[in-house]
Structure 1
Amino acid sequence: MLTSQRKSLILDILRRDGQVVAKRVAEDFSLSEDTIRRDLREMAAGGLLKRVHGGAMPVAPELPDFSTRKSVSSEAKARLGRKAASLVQPGQLIFLDGGTTTAEIARQLPRDFAFSVATHSPTIAAELEHHPTASVILIGGKLYKHSMVSVGSVAMAAISQLRPDIFFLGVTAAHPVHGLSTGDFEEAAIKRHIASCAAETYVPLTQEKFDHVSPCHILPVSGVSGLIVTADIAAAAIEPYRKITAEILEA
């Protein structure tokens, strides 16, 4: 078996199982563990996976600051924003998470009927300053500056009083095995709490977030109502998620 073939199969295993165990792969391929470990080292050096004791895990995406993220996949985020905004109905209470993709949702929200928006992000609230029909509820608390959202017990208590019809959840990574994740423990807890209060939760996902794992787990993919993705993502990449969640909406 060629080295390139082995590495391709290793990536397939990583996507399917969420981890690679060097000993098991060596047995399956009838090769030495040293050969597989060398492959894993080379793949880790190329940023394809993360080496751990005994094997490998999916690589965690980089977490650039809020200002930097504004310029990443802007066209795709606009498409996701339009699709997400189309789900909003008159009179609903929706909850917008912090982030640059949810900022696009805020910009695309309907202007021909009334509804309410709750958010724990001052930047999202500012996007709605001149919206003609949206009533805005801003949740306060300790500001997590990296994502520009409120976290902590004060925010948690205020969110507990709400029952949103839809929560648009922002994540930094999605994986069919390891679920939806982000980079901060307190932020993950707030996201999980909002989802527990909401009737439905949808996750807009740009392509670079697929098949990655960030340090802090939020929810399993099966724990949300659906994913919102761009229509140009390959069907094979979406298929593992389609088997898990209730709905895949294409933008």
Structure 2
Amino acid sequence: MLDYASFPNQRQALIKDHLQQTGRVVCVQLAKQLNVSEHTIRRDLQELANQGICKKVYGGAVINAKSDGSLVQRLDLNNDRKQILAKACIPYFKEKAFIFIDSGSTNLAIAKMIPQNLALTVVTHTPSVAVALQSHEYCDVVLLGGKISKQQGAAVGTSSLKQLQTMHFDLAILGACAIDVEVGVSAFDIEDAQFKQAIVKQSNNVLIAVTEDKLSSVARHKVTDLDSISILVTEEKVKEEKLAEFRKVELQLILA
């Protein structure tokens, strides 16, 4: 058996692999597994954090989420998987509900799947979502205005934020760059994070639909704790080791 205490590079490579597999690591467990001290593991995690691989949290670390680029670039990624997630979200759209749909390629897939005969009012700051709903005879669409961010494909500035703060929603479909049990929901862009915070504040219920890679990861700017989220929809293929922590949280976990 390799003496990991004497081989920091191999030790850190193993920790990195574990982060990529599960999204988070715990110091106590790693120290026992590798037969080294917790202090040694904390030094390793600091080195990996310095490399931008993870973020240190209490008792361990969480992997840093990777950006998939702008909304336009993300539209062609994992389409089949996003369609499955979108279908699982539709039962939460109730007749005559007042709903906000946030930016994001998965959320756009959700908007496109809303039944034609369902009467709703949908508010969005994302032009592509508004366009997708134009053919829905019974769906009233409100598009918030302002300067469009190329990264988000949505208006996330002061103008749209002021409009948003005058409304109260039955349900919000919130986009998430990363989501973790301890860190919560996070985003890459600070204006996007601030806008998402306002969405959560103005909504009775919040639904997030994410692919497996966004679970147990963290982005630069925190949006909200997980106790603000009502429903989390993710993929059925997610390993139980990763799902276990989310099952402990008081939210409805849907596997699609």
Q: Shorter chain as normaliser: what TM range?
A: 0.7 to 0.9
- Compared with structure 1, are the counterparts of its residues 79 and 153 closer, same or farther at alpha carbon in structure 2 (3 Å cutoff)? same
Matching residue's letter, 2:102: D
Conservation of the 8 A alpha-carbon contact between 1:166 and 1:199: yes
CA RMSD of aligned residues (A): 3.2
Shift of 1:37: 5.0
2:36 aligns with one of 24, 30, 42: 30
Matching residue's letter, 2:124: T
- Compared with structure 1, are the counterparts of its residues 44 and 117 closer, same or farther at alpha carbon in structure 2 (3 Å cutoff)? same
- Compared with structure 1, are the counterparts of its residues 42 and 220 closer, same or farther at alpha carbon in structure 2 (3 Å cutoff)? closer
CA distance in 2, matches of 1:169, 1:115: 17
Q: Percent identity at matched positions?
A: 23
Deviations along 1:179-216, one digit per CA (max 9) or x if unpaired, are 11111111101111011111100100101111111101
Matching residue's letter, 2:24: R
Find the counterpart in structure 1 of residue 54 from structure 2: 50
1:211 aligns with one of 211, 216, 223: 216
Unpaired runs of 5+ in structure 1?
none
Deviations along 1:83-127, one digit per CA (max 9) or x if unpaired, are 112211111011100110001101110222311110011111111
- Compared with structure 1, are the counterparts of its residues 41 and 182 closer, same or farther at alpha carbon in structure 2 (3 Å cutoff)? same
Find the counterpart in structure 2 of residue 227 from structure 1: 232
CA distance in 1, matches of 2:194, 2:55: 27
Find the counterpart in structure 2 of residue 246 from structure 1: 251
Shift of 1:5: 8.2
Find the counterpart in structure 1 of residue 24 from structure 2: 15
Q: Secondary structure at the match of 2:251?
A: coil
2:179 aligns with one of 174, 180, 183: 174
Find the counterpart in structure 2 of residue 145 from structure 1: 150
Find the counterpart in structure 1 of residue 7 from structure 2: none
Find the counterpart in structure 2 of residue 66 from structure 1: 71
State TM-score, norm by structure 1.
0.83
Unpaired runs of 5+ in structure 2?
5-9
Shift of 1:38: 6.4
Alignment of 1:54-203 (within 5 A): 58-203=63-208
- Compared with structure 1, are the counterparts of its residues 57 and 133 closer, same or farther at alpha carbon in structure 2 (3 Å cutoff)? same
- Compared with structure 1, are the counterparts of its residues 14 and 122 closer, same or farther at alpha carbon in structure 2 (3 Å cutoff)? closer
